Structure 1
Amino acid sequence: MGGLLSARNQRHILRPRGIQQMAGLTKKVGLIIAWAGFALALTQIGNGREPMLKLEERRRHLLEEEQNQVEAHAKMREIERYQMQIAQKFYMAGLKKKAEKSTAEAKQNFKAAASEYEKFLTLYERSPGGPYSLLMWAHCQVQLRLVNTAIREGFQSVIDYWPESHEATVAHFMIGKCHLFNGEPRKAEKVFQEIYSKDPKAHYATKTCEWMLDIAIARKDMEKQVELWINLVFKTPKNKRTPDYAGQLAKHHFREGEFAKGVEAIKSCHETENDKFIESVFGNGNGVTSEFFKSDASKPKAEKLGDEVISFLEERLPTDLSDKKAQERAQELLGWVTGIHMTLDRDKKVIATFERKGKLLGMDDLLLGQIAAWHKKKDRREQARSTYGRYEDKVNGRRAIAGTFREERKYEEAVRHYLALIGMDKEREATWQQDVVGTWRDAGQWDKAIATYRELLKVDPDKHSSWYWGIAECYEHKKQYSQAIQAYRQTDNYPEGYFRMAECNRHLKKWTEGLVLLNQAKAEKRVADRAQFRIAQFYEMAGQKEKCIKSFQMTCKLYPRSGYASRAHAHLQTKYGISVTLGGATDE
């Protein structure tokens, strides 16, 4: 593209470059004239500018470096904007086809877009849209994988002929990206560094640092990563990812024993010492503390950092707890202090902080539950149960006690506590009986589970289908398949119940009954492929080879996009030596 521009930095009409245009130049100019009135009718508002909604809609579908500047767009004449729209439509169509993995169609659209952008430069040599048109021509070359052409004749030409334009900055950035596409990260890094050094406060300085950071991470160059984190946090314009970079920088400082510097990095992303700032210091500090604590050699570092984080949190603890907001802040801060002590496995300090929290803010069931959970983690089951016994809500406390016995596989004791709940809260008997039946199922005591399900049929008859389903499953575990079938027949879970009954008949070697049930299940479209595949397997297990093969073939024919069709296809090929085309013909 460089040859299309004069050597004296004077723009002139571009000559053809061998890129195939969608139609002859004369024909296209005629089309523009013929459609000009229609284009004006569509786009004219006020002084003839294209509606901003349309422009914004196109911008949303393009990368930042592919977007036209609103100011330049506004200065273009209507006929110029129309020609630009033609090119943009081809480019966006190419992006769409690329996303759909239609490579050939995408390539055609990108070629057409390149031709239209080149045509723009030919027809409107002095237009404010010239730099953008050449920039987009270069983007088309990138999409066509002509990366070196894009650099030499596109992006570099934009820089040479419009050096002070926004597009020149974008082109410079794109040259760096193109070097990465070519697998030359050092060349890319050099270009990105030039952009950053030129103006660290510019928007693209942030983007270049982000790309250099990716390169440094790939190279495992920690020194460079730290340098770039510092740039991104303190020197370049911030974006939505800046807090992440600040967190990474903070963790680096925490690992190096520089707690104050880590806090400063996080603080740079926050105007005030708000909750997010404090939470970020805690989260990053606790994360590094946990890393250190995993190794005996670094445990002293973990203790030191943990104490620094705790001091940081304690300094921000409200002294006046009279208002609700201060109480909520204290609740959160003390929770984080407890978290640090937990990370450092400071058992006594964890309990002491819980108790301190209770004295300051009141001991409620939520806090008692946290204390009990810590006791359980330290395998102090009796102390956990004692703590649950302190609950204000005695029903929930008793249920939690039952849960501890269930966790210990002391099923009889757990059931005793669950049944005691019926006397404490009769209205929720169905809930307690479900806890009981779950316990018996955990214990593998199927007869007791069945008896409890029958009790549930009396207590909560509206859910009879669920209870019969549970009864059927228990009979299956007992290998009493006839009783299981009878129970499944009482449920309304179609078609899953039919699959379950078919499997029970399989265990009983009742192939005909099982096949009847599977064919009934097949009537439900969403499981038809599964049913057809299982029918084939039933025929195979029954020794009916011919019907088995035919059923597997039917699976491939009727449901070619299903995973069951793929399985049927593979099975026919490996076991029977039959090759089936999904959705069609058979080759033996």
Structure 2
Amino acid sequence: MAYSKKTIKLNIIIFASFLLINQLYAASLSWTEQIEVDTYGKLRQVERYQLKIAEKFYTKGEFVAAAAEYEKYITLYERSKGAAYAQLMWSHCQIKQRKVYTGIRDGLQSVIDYWPNSNEAKLAIFLIGKSYKNIGELKKADTAYRKTINNYPKDHIALLSKWDLAEIASIKKDQKRLNKIWNDIVFKTEKNKKTLSYINKAADSLSKYYFNQSEFNKANFVLTETYEGDKLNDAIYQNAKHAVTNLCKNKATKSNGEILADKIILIIMESIDDARNKDLPELFRRIARTHERAQRDDDVIKTYELMAKRLGMNDTIRGKIANWHSSKERYSKAKEIFAQFEDKTNGLKNIAQIWMMQKQPKQAVQIYDRLIKTAPDNITNWKIAIAEIYSSTKDYEKAIDVYRELISLTPAKASDWYWAIGGNYEKTKMLKLAIQSYRNSDNYPQAYFQMAKCHRKLEEYNEALILYKQALATESAASDATIAIGYTYEEQSNKNNAIKWFQRTCKLFPRSRNASKAHSHLQKEYGISVTLGGSKEK
């Protein structure tokens, strides 16, 4: 039979459109909510249309309407190849409405009973387990998952069921069963693109357990099943590092922790010989971190010195050594090494930070003053650092002076500096000046709230209310403003208006944290119960 070029082209377009529509259809649904492509292709146009109507309601979260449309499909097309899918989706609608037992009993179980050989039946058994698990019915979930594994032992869904069984064992703190499940996943699951991530996670979890039990050989055996080469070395380090910490912090297991640390370091040292130069810094860092976890102070320094011999000393290595001394409160030694930096600016900045760790702000400011002279291009950053030091040490007057200098230095950021000045004035209880500074900032609507807070402290309640009502215009700040208005009226001893605005918070923003606070406050202070509701949200 001959076809014209026009007919062939039309068929190609129709087929491509079908694939595109089906992809868009699947994109908005999870894998347990998607119809098989083959099944969808066999449906008549009227059947597809009915599913589309239901799916439109479902993806919009209108589950009552969606359930009615899926039920309509089953009534109209009971013998259709899509009936099992419609019943499955009806079950999803019930579960989404928190009618979990209805969804399981009248929905998922019906799929299994009426379409036992369908793909949807396989999904239904699995979903029964997941639904029970999500509502805390762990025993029933366990039974459903085991049934899934027994019925579909070679299917990917069996692996997913095992994974959820592992979560249940973890919740129950049943380590023995957890290890058994992980072991089963690692050694009895066929490796492919879909399963490999689960196998790796199970291997990682099981090896972590063995490392923490000082059973290196068992852990290594597990990891060798799924990793090799550099990936195996990396897996050993990543899964054993915390075990070193845990074992070494306990006197009874410290010797085992040190043995584990030595084994990790030996593996890394063997890989260093053949490693590329770009990989060496990370390998040396791991050795140093392992020594650190094993509480070996001197060995950390020796590792970085060995790294310097191999790669040549540089500021990065100097920084690691200096930071280690600093962490051990050997501040003089840390400053000595920072002073050796080739990048003198960075070295001085680090020295200033060390002075602050030592609670010596005066010396830190002197360093930043020195940086202003030696690295004037970054004068703004040095001035900010000085201002923050003064503010953190409660020398607010000097902090304000520095921020005023910054207004002249970088006028483009004047709003930030005015905001900082306002904060410092507020800390000194110079509230009028704080309000003035906040007003010069363009940080709105936050500035409304800061100014209003200052007015309330000054007992200028009407001014505060005006500012809060201006903040109402900003949707993201509206619930903060309504509850603040309530508190302000309360401070003004205006009980009726206070109650009105607390109630308004509950009514307009029922799902906000402020509604919860207002609801609690109304009950506690005024003995008023109010329903959280009244919004347009369904």
In which range does the TM-score fall when normalised by the shorter chain? 0.7 to 0.9
Q: Distance in 2 between matches of 1:216 and 1:329?
A: 39
1:435-491 deviation line (CA, Å, top 9, x unaligned) = 111111111111221222233334334433332332232222222223333433443
Q: Choose from 189, 201, 209 the match for 1:252.
A: 209
Indicate yes or no: 2:223 matched with 1:266: yes
What is the root-mean-square deviation in Å for CA atoms of aligned residues?
3.8
Corresponding residue for 1:118? 78
What residue is the counterpart of 2:280 in the other structure?
330
Q: 2:21 aligns with which of 43, 54, 64?
A: 54
Of 70, 82, 85 in structure 1, the residue corresponding to residue 48 of structure 2 is 85
**Superimposed CA distance per residue, residues 7-37 of structure 1 (whole angstroms, 9 cap, x where no aligned partner):** xxxxxxxxxxxxxxxxxxxxxxxxxxxxxxx
Residues 73 and 83, structure 2, Cα contact 8 Å, conserved in 1: no
In the aligned structure 1, how far is the partner of 2:15 from the partner of 2:277? 59
Residue of structure 1 equivalent to 2:311: 361
Structure 1 residue 440 corresponds to structure 2 residue 390:
yes
Instruction: Tell me whether 1:291 sits opposite 2:251 in the alignment.
Output: no
1:221 aligns with 2:184: no
Residue ranges of structure 2 left out of the alignment (5+ in a row): 1-9, 95-101
1:173-572 to 2 correspondences below 5 Å: 183-185=139-141, 187-188=143-144, 190-195=146-151, 199=154, 202-237=155-190, 238-270=195-227, 273-274=229-230, 276-319=231-274, 326-522=276-472, 524=474, 526-545=476-495, 548=498, 564=514, 567=517, 571=521
Greater RCO (CA < 8 Å, at least 6 residues apart): 1
Q: How far is the alpha carbon of 1:330 from its aligned partner?
A: 1.6
Q: Distance in 2 between matches of 1:540 and 1:172?
A: 57
Aligned to 2:65: 105
1:161-206 CA deviation, whole Å, 9 max, x = no partner? Answer: x5xx76676576567668878753553354245246x54xx43442
Q: Give 1:297's aligned amino acid.
A: A
Instruction: Specify the code of the residue in structure 1 equivalent to 2:78.
Output: E
Distance 1:529 1:206, change over 3 A: closer
Larger-Rg structure: 1
Q: CA deviation at 1:157?
A: 5.3
Q: 1:239 to 1:60 in 2, by over 3 A?
A: farther
- Which one-letter code corresponds to 2:313 in the other structure? M
Instruction: Give the whole-Å Cα distance in 2 for the aligned partners of 1:520 and 1:152.
Output: 56
Quick check: 185-194 or 295-304, which moved more? Answer: 185-194
Cα-to-partner distance string for 1:265-296 (whole Å, 9 max, x where unaligned): 334434x524x543322110102222222322
Q: Alpha-carbon deviation of 1:71?
A: 4.7
Q: Within 2, Cα distance between the matches of 1:73 and 1:502?
A: 61
Instruction: Report the alpha carbon displacement of residue 501 of structure 1 after superposing the two structures with TM.
Output: 3.1
**Aligned partners of 1:258, 1:410: CA distance in 2, in Å?**
48
**CA-to-aligned-CA distance 1:540-570 (integer Å, 9 cap, x gap):** 3334455555665666677677655665565
Amino acid at match of 2:233: I
Q: Using the alignment, how far apart are the partners of 2:207 and 2:131 within structure 1?
A: 32
1:91–1:140 Cα contact (<8 Å) kept = no
How far is the alpha carbon of 1:371 from its aligned partner?
Answer: 1.5
TM-score (norm 1): 0.75
Which has the larger displacement, 481-490 or 573-582?
Answer: 573-582
Match of 1:24 in 2: none
CA contact 2:479–2:512 (8 Å) conserved in 1: yes
> What SS class does the counterpart of residue 379 from structure 1 fall into?
coil
Shift of 1:382: 0.9
* Equivalent position amino acid for 1:459 in 2: L
Q: Distance in 2 between matches of 1:133 and 1:153?
A: 11
Cα distance, 1:405–1:106 mapped onto 2, change above 3 Å: same
Shift of 1:421: 0.9
Amino acid across the alignment from 2:55: M
| 3-state SS of paired residue (1:444) | coil
Q: Deviations over 1:20-73 (max 9, x none)?
A: xxxxxxxxxxxxxxxxxxxxxxx9657979822233333445554555444565
Q: How many residues align?
A: 511
Q: 2:203 and 2:174 mapped to 1: Cα distance?
A: 18
Return 399-408 or 494-503, whichever deviates more. Answer: 494-503
Q: Which runs of 5+ in 1 are unaligned?
A: 1-42, 121-128
Amino acid at match of 1:184: K
Distance 1:469 1:208, change over 3 A: closer
Residues 157-172 of structure 1 correspond to what in structure 2 (within 5 A)? 158-159=115-116, 162=117
Contact 1:117 1:134 in 2 (8 A): no
**Residues 61 and 92 of structure 1 are in contact (CA less than 8 Å); yes or no, is this contact kept in structure 2?**
no
Cα offset, 1:84, TM superposition:
4.8
